[in-house]
Structure 1
């Protein structure tokens, strides 16, 4: 019986002629919530190999969009360079970055937050030919997939959807730009050679509002209100950032709502060994707290 690493090595040698003369070192990387990831050593070069999961289209993932977005980010120096795209096999291969994955505590520090803002501003000034991303469309799509499951309380969900409608109606319009849309701490890697920050995992990327990237980042790092204001000041460089802070706080709630529904969909379709039910419940608890808070109503009143 062959191992997954052996099978992957043989498949990659078949698909990539330049790798055939070499013995490949294949190491599985733990932690992925959608795909299977590997570090592959080929002679003196190291590669990151991502095997895309089946059923990703139900999550709104378009592998061609991911490829174009990753190429664009690589050309901007934001992401590792793409080396191979094996479309039929759902395999994307980039340079492997030797470094450490950053934590939410790391990213909440002003110095690291400034590095994050620099990366985001680079991608937010480009518009590759990829499809659009709207968190509001994603929320409605996910809800249609899971509305008949018992995981999410329907009454609480209706309250959250009402807030989502208000946010969608009042959110300030920004020029559409390339957005990452999945700014987990695990997607930021600090290069061990030069302290450079890289942003990886572009499978949810698309053209959308930068406010969602900012709110998504704030949610995933659980930023405190003063840290949200710091993020807004670093990004917008304006004296009055209160409207921007309001938008970030509202999109933070939309991010948690997206994640709660994403976890509910993954619970139905994913084969990975991960507790998606607990993930969904944790994010929906955040949504419920936010919907009932004065801060969300105040943010809405600033923008409405």
Structure 2
């Protein structure tokens, strides 16, 4: 952590912070971990504790809409599951929100006693809150990402396109009974769950939009490497128990949406690998998700899963 005048002027950050009334004056500044498309800072002043999200560009190849991110962050706060927005300065590439006390979850801690139940409650609160200003559909997102990959000649793993027929079958199975869409974060890696021991908060609404509620749980399942038993626990907590009449069908839909998450978001990694200036192995990130999807596409239970969702 640095005090004003020591280090927060790094790359002109100090001058940027001075332009936001809540952040001006004496302050301490510390970088927060994570943020593969942003630089995240914790800024503490005499009036409050804040998180500043700095974006270097509109991240057009990734399909990020900063105005929608801002609006949906406000909606999540109104729902009672997100941080309050303090300021939004698109001219500075800056979103300022309140700092949430608690710890970011990890793939190891998310399965701790009671944690998945708190995560499920947070999802229900978000999905019952104000509708978001935009929609999110992984099939449209995947098609857009794939078009950009081909247009720019980015590297794809051998065999990615071979699963196009299976991908279409997944789309058709989910479309048999279209979901009523609800506000969703859509990017629920463990670090986007903040647990204070009593409740869980959700952060980072870059890819948020109204979506199938099952995607949110499937995305969590695959991003956090949940076991089958842990996914069962998450879904049961979300639905109010495994004895609910729709539990089996919804649980199957969650599993299929986990596949959608892996196959679609893998392209995010391949785009980042070819275009990002951040020192990070994005290609391996994408391959991890692609290989999960490939295993599911070729599994013995794939056809049965489609039938169960479409039944």
Q: Deviations over 1:56-100 (max 9, x none)?
A: 122111111111111111122201111111122221111112322
The answer on 1:9 being equivalent to 2:14 is yes
Contact 2:16-2:92 within 8 A present in 1 as well: no
How far apart are 1:104 and its partner, in Å?
1.9
Contact 2:79-2:128 within 8 A present in 1 as well: no
Identify the range of structure 1 (101-110 vs 25-34) with the bigger mean alpha-carbon deviation: 101-110
Q: Which residue of 2 aligns with 1:118?
A: 121
Alpha-carbon separation, structure 2, partners of 1:26 and 1:108: 32
Map of 1:139-154 to 2, 5 A cutoff? 139-147=142-150, 148-153=153-158
TM-score normalized by structure 2?
0.89
Q: Residue 271 of structure 2: which of 265, 268, 279 is its match?
A: 265
Q: Deviations over 1:181-200 (max 9, x none)?
A: 00010111123xx6332111
Identify the range of structure 1 (195-204 vs 231-240) with the bigger mean alpha-carbon deviation: 231-240
Contact 2:75-2:132 within 8 A present in 1 as well: no
Identify the range of structure 1 (109-118 vs 285-294) with the bigger mean alpha-carbon deviation: 109-118
Contact 1:5-1:27 within 8 A present in 2 as well: no
Gaps in structure 2 of 5+ consecutive residues: 1-5
TM-score normalized by structure 1?
0.91
Q: CA 1:84–1:55 in structure 2 vs 1: closer, same or farther (change >3 Å)?
A: closer
Alpha-carbon separation, structure 2, partners of 1:231 and 1:43: 40
Q: Deviations over 1:123-152 (max 9, x none)?
A: 212343511100111111111111343332
Identify the range of structure 1 (4-13 vs 198-207) with the bigger mean alpha-carbon deviation: 4-13
Gaps in structure 1 of 5+ consecutive residues: none
The answer on 1:161 being equivalent to 2:167 is no
Q: CA 1:272–1:51 in structure 2 vs 1: closer, same or farther (change >3 Å)?
A: same
Q: Residue 178 of structure 1: which of 167, 177, 183 is its match?
A: 183
SS at match of 1:294: coil
Alpha-carbon separation, structure 2, partners of 1:297 and 1:227: 23
Map of 1:275-290 to 2, 5 A cutoff? 275-290=281-296
How far apart are 1:12 and its partner, in Å?
1.6
Q: Deviations over 1:259-297 (max 9, x none)?
A: 210001111221212111111111111111111112322
Q: Residue 48 of structure 2: which of 40, 45, 50 is its match?
A: 45
Q: Which residue of 2 aligns with 1:256?
A: 262
Alpha-carbon separation, structure 2, partners of 1:127 and 1:76: 7
Ranges of 4+ aligned residues in structure 1 off by more than 6 Å: none
How far apart are 1:180 and its partner, in Å?
0.3
SS at match of 2:265: helix
Q: Deviations over 1:168-219 (max 9, x none)?
A: 212132212111000010111123xx63321111110011111111110111
Contact 1:108-1:221 within 8 A present in 2 as well: no
Alpha-carbon separation, structure 1, partners of 2:307 and 2:190: 31
Q: CA 1:169–1:100 in structure 2 vs 1: closer, same or farther (change >3 Å)?
A: same
Q: Which residue of 2 aligns with 1:188?
A: 193
Q: Which residue of 1 aligns with 2:297?
A: 291
How far apart are 1:108 and its partner, in Å?
2.8
Q: Number of residues paired by the alignment?
A: 297
Contact 2:117-2:233 within 8 A present in 1 as well: no
Alpha-carbon separation, structure 1, partners of 2:121 and 2:95: 25
Contact 2:146-2:267 within 8 A present in 1 as well: yes
